[in-house]
Amino acid sequence: MKKLFFVFLTFVSCACYSQDITTMDKFVGTWRWVSNTDTLTIVLQRQNLYLNPGISRVSLVGWHKYVKAGHLVQSSLQYVGRDETVSHTDVTTDLKTTLIGHAKTTASIWFTTFWDLSLHSSSFASLTFLPGSTTQATWKLSKDSHWKTTTNGSPTTTSSISELPKNVILTKL
C-alpha cells in the first residue's frame, strides 16, 4: 500500500508541475508596450530558483527596461540571461533580476517580486493573456494592499508606487 501511495503521489506531483512549466513556457520571451515615446520592455526566461539548500522551484525570472518621454528611467536588461542557479542572492539586495514569478492559472503569471530600480522597493505584478491570444497580455503592477512599512515603530501603508505603467497591454515580440 505504501508503494502504491508513493507512486500515486509522485504522479500527481509531476502532472501539476508539468502544467505549471507548460504555462510558464508560453510567457518566455520578450514583451513590449509602446505609447508615443514611452516603452516598457520585459524579458522572461524559465529557470530553477533555489529557495533553500536542496529545495528548488522552476520559476520565471525576468528583467525590464522603462523609457519615458524618450529618456531611460530604469533598466536591468544588461543582465538578461543571468543564471539564477549560479549567482542567486536575496532579490532585495540583488538588482540584476527584477522579476520572479510562477504560473497562477493556465493564462496568467503572478510575479511575487517586481523590483523597482528607482524606488528600491518590491511590488507585485501579473501578466495575463488577452482572451484567445498568446501574443498579447495585460500587465498589472500593484502594491499589496496589506503591505506595510514601519516608521518610528508604527506601521504605515506605503504611498510610494512605481512610475512604471500600471495597467497596459504588452505584445510578445
State the CATH number of the domain containing residue 52.
Answer: 2.40.128
Beta bridge partners of 68: 71
Q: Is 84 helix (H, G, I), strand (E, B) or coil?
A: helix
pLDDT band at 161 (very low <50, low <70, confident <90, very high): low
Domain count of the fold of the chain: 1
Select from 153, 150, 125, 149 the least CA-distant residue to 138.
125
Pure H helices in the chain = 2-27, 84-87
Spatial neighbors of 44 by CB under 8 A, at least 6 apart, are 27, 28, 29, 30, 31, 60, 61, 62, 99
Considering only 11-15, 92-96, 98-102, 134-138, which range has the smallest mean pLDDT? 11-15
109, 115 in Cβ contact below 8 A? no
What is the 8-class DSSP label of residue 78?
G
Q: Give the chain's mean pLDDT.
A: 78
Q: Which domain holds residue 47?
A: 2-172
Alpha-carbon distance of 123 to 171, in angstroms, equals 22
The predicted model scores a pTM of 0.77
Q: Is 53 helix (H, G, I), strand (E, B) or coil?
A: coil
Q: Is 60 exposed, middle or buried (CB count within 10 Å of its CB: 0-12, 13-18, 19+)? A: buried
Quick one: pLDDT at residue 120?
A: 80
Average pLDDT over residues 126-134: 96
170, 137 in Cβ contact below 8 A? yes
